[in-house]
Structure 1
Amino acid sequence: MEAELIALATSGATTLITLMISDAWTQVKGRVAHMLGRDDDEQDDLLHELDASRAALLHALERGDGTRAATIEAEWRARLLLLLQSDPSLVEELQSLPAPPEGTVYNHISGRVQSGLVIQAGRIEGSTFHAPPDERAGRTEV
């Protein structure tokens, strides 16, 4: 059961973070606070925490700080896991969170610094890639 809770907390945190950076956040954040908070005061506190997390996340993504974005997600994953362990009835509620809107993409790239081309796309169809002509083509050797 523990592995299932960890998987659910991981999935829930990813969904939560993805919703935070989407246009759907304004419609969903009250539901999330209600789900995670037990009384009105706790829900109000959660709304402030969720707004603070969202602001920090957007700021981190704007600066290209993937480490900070991943840390915010990890904090919510740990928090969701603790809540799920203390109240298993949250499983259904967490699973009922709406899927992030189509087209919403959240990527985290970490590791060594690389230089090169990165392409991020939801769908690529009928792509044509052009390469510069080979300067040696057409030359005749004597």
Structure 2
Amino acid sequence: MGPEIADPARTAGTTMVALMATQTWESAREGMVALWRRFQPERAEAVGGELEATREDLLLAQRSGDTETEAELTAEWQARVRRLLVARPEVADELRRILAELTPALPEERPTTGIRLRAEASGNGRVYQAGRDQHITERPDR
């Protein structure tokens, strides 16, 4: 297997797992499911479910600081895309198009050090903490 298959598979797996924890996740998921729907329609729904399961695993791993699981999930999706490319080499152009659309949505490099937050609130106090961006929309009690 040459770089014409290995490189796009590696990029696709890495990109998909990186986008699973972002706001553009739905777009990324839909792009990959559409790819399978077009080239292996019998697997498209299963792939959508597998992507969702992977996302749940990733989010759990990130909450617990488990970087090994993230690497395993990335390798798993790289292998799935590689198998698709081996079975259907014509997928490569469509995959490159999808990746080009998704690449600007990739998160910046995450810090390699862990972040620990601790807070206490009492009474009617509120605590808002984030390791990155945080957006809060206050809604008045009704």
- Contact 2:19–2:106 at 8 Å: present in 1 too? no
- Separation in 2 of the partners of 1:103 and 1:84? 23
Residue 45 of structure 1 corresponds to 46
- Separation in 2 of the partners of 1:105 and 1:64? 18
Task: State the secondary structure of the residue aligned to 1:99.
Answer: helix
- Separation in 2 of the partners of 1:23 and 1:56? 17
CA RMSD of the aligned region, Å? Answer: 2.7
Q: Describe how 1:1-142 pairs up with structure 2 within 5 A.
A: 2-37=2-37, 38-39=40-41, 42-97=43-98, 98-102=101-105, 104-105=107-108, 107=110
- Separation in 2 of the partners of 1:108 and 1:68? 17
**Residues 48-80 of structure 1: CA distance to partner in whole angstroms, max 9, x if unpaired?**
111000110111111111101100000001111
Distance 1:33 1:82, change over 3 A: same
Superposition deviation, residue 45 in structure 1? 1.3
- Separation in 1 of the partners of 2:45 and 2:102? 24
Percent identity for Structure 1 against Structure 2: 26
Distance 1:91 1:45, change over 3 A: same
Q: Which one has the bigger helix percentage?
A: 2
Code of the residue aligned with 1:80 in structure 2: it is V
**TM-score, length of structure 1 as denominator length:** 0.68
- Contact 1:19–1:100 at 8 Å: present in 2 too? no
| Larger gyration radius, structure 1 or structure 2 | 1
**TM-score, length of structure 2 as denominator length:** 0.68
Superposition deviation, residue 103 in structure 1? 6.7
Superposition deviation, residue 102 in structure 1? 4.9
Superposition deviation, residue 106 in structure 1? 5.0
Residue ranges of structure 1 left out of the alignment (5+ in a row) = 116-120, 122-142
